[in-house]
Amino acid sequence: QFYRPILEELTVTRPEHFDFVRPEDLDGIGMGRPAQRRLTEALKKHRLGLKSKNWVYKILGGLAPEQKETTSVPDNLLSLPEPEGGLKCLIPDGAVCRGELLGSGCFGVVHRGLWTLPSGQSVPVAVKSLRVGPEGPVGTELGDFLREVSVMMNLEHPHVLRLHGLVLAQPLQMVMELAPLGSLHARLTAPAP
């Protein structure tokens, strides 16, 4: 009943936007005080349950108390959307064999790999591994890695490499489709034939 007025008149599109909505604004769209109280209670429940229901914490099982001191997960990571289809695939560590190094970035390295499916079939893949320091993954690198996982899980496009799954070992690894012709950067910067 109030969905359209909240969306169109108050331009509230995310739960965080309600932080800037006053009771007078809700009165202006015809929402009574009891409905406003119910909305406030629902928002409180949403905020309290956000951290525990976040898919990152479901996968990693939260952080151990000793890890919280050395590894901090950025607050904006807690607001990542849960993938619509859930996890694509949790891949056992032994099912992926890493080969030659393809490249490295700011938070990890990429290897050519071979993923052995339960059926015995082998699939060529790219394995992106999180770079780990002496005390474990650094908070910003872990946050960037998990943010990329979140984005890749929700992408389905013929021109974007597909995320096959995630290996929950140390280090964390993303198993992705292997670009058959190599990196786009190398192709674009290569001299013309």
pLDDT tens readout for residues 87-135: 467 888 889 999 999 988 777 899 999 999 888 889 999 999 988 766 5
For each of the domains in the chain, give its residue range(s) and CATH number, in order of start: 3-53 (no CATH), 93-189 (3.30.200.20)
pLDDT value for 183: 80
Cis peptide preceding 65, ω within 30 of 0: no
User: How many whole angstroms from its chain centre is CA 110?
Assistant: 18
Element (H, E) at 98: strand 96-104
What pLDDT band is residue 137 in, cutting at 50, 70 and 90?
low
> Which residues are known binding-site members for ATP?
128
pLDDT value for 71: 40
pLDDT value for 133: 65
Provide the mean pLDDT of the chain.
76
Say if CB 88 and CB 149 are below 8 A apart.
no
Question: Which tokens hold the place of 2?
Answer: 């109030």
Q: Report the candidate in 144, 173, 149, 172 with the shortest Cα–Cα distance to residue 162.
A: 149
Sign of the dihedral defined by the CA atoms of residues 24, 25, 29, 31, in that order = negative
Cis peptide preceding 171, ω within 30 of 0: yes
Token pair 């190599």: residue: 182
Is the per-residue pLDDT at 193 higher than 60?
yes
Give the pairing type, strands 122-130 and 163-167: unpaired
pLDDT value for 96: 93
Say if CB 84 and CB 155 are below 8 A apart.
no
- pLDDT per residue as tens digits for the range 51-95: 544 555 555 544 433 344 344 444 443 343 333 444 467 888 889
**Contacts of 24 by beta carbon, 8 Å cutoff, 6+ apart:** none
- pLDDT per residue as tens digits for the range 29-54: 999 999 889 888 888 877 776 554 45
- pLDDT per residue as tens digits for the range 140-160: 777 788 888 888 888 888 888
pLDDT value for 66: 39
Residues in the chain: 193
> Which residues are known binding-site members?
128
